[in-house]
Amino acid sequence: MPANAVVIGVDSSTQSTKAAFTDAETGRLLAVGRAPHRVSGAGGARETDPEGWWAALAEAVAAGLKELDGLGVTAPAVTGIAVAGQQHGLVVLDRAGTPLRPALLWNDTRSAPQAASLTEALGGRDAWTARTGSVPVASMTATKWQWLRENEPAVADAAAAVRLPHDFLTERLAGVAATDPGDASGTCWYSTATGAYDPVLLDLVGLDAALLPPVAPTGGTRVGSLTAAAAERLGLPAGIAVAAGTGDNMAAAVGLGLGGAGLLDHPVLSLGTSGTVFAATRTRPASAALAGFAAADGTYLPLACTLNCTLAVDKVASLLGLDREAAEAGGEVVLLPYLDGERTPDLPGASGLLTGLRHTTTRQQILGAAYEGAAVTVLRALDEVLRACGQDPAAPDTAARPLRLVGGGAMGRHWVETVRRLSGRPLLIPSSGELVALGAAALAAAAATGEDAVALATGWGAGSGKELPAVERDVEAWERVSSVLGRASGSLLGW
Instruction: Report, as residue numbers or ranges, the catalytic residues.
Output: 248
Please tell me whether 87 is known to bind a ligand.
yes
As a whole number of angstroms, the distance between CA 254 and CA 372 comes to 29
As a whole number of angstroms, the distance between CA 177 and CA 246 comes to 13
Residue 268 in contact with residue 277, Cβ under 8 Å? Answer: yes
Residue 434: phi, psi to the nearest 5?
A: -125, 50
As a whole number of angstroms, the distance between CA 236 and CA 242 comes to 12
Please tell me whether 365 is known to bind a ligand.
no
Contacts of 38 (CB under 8 A, 6+ apart): 48, 49, 52
300 has which bridge partners? 281, 294
As a whole number of angstroms, the distance between CA 449 and CA 454 comes to 13
As a whole number of angstroms, the distance between CA 219 and CA 299 comes to 12
As a whole number of angstroms, the distance between CA 108 and CA 45 comes to 5
Q: Give the residue ranges of the annotated binding site.
A: 87-88
Q: Give the residue ranges of the annotated binding site for substrate.
A: 87-88
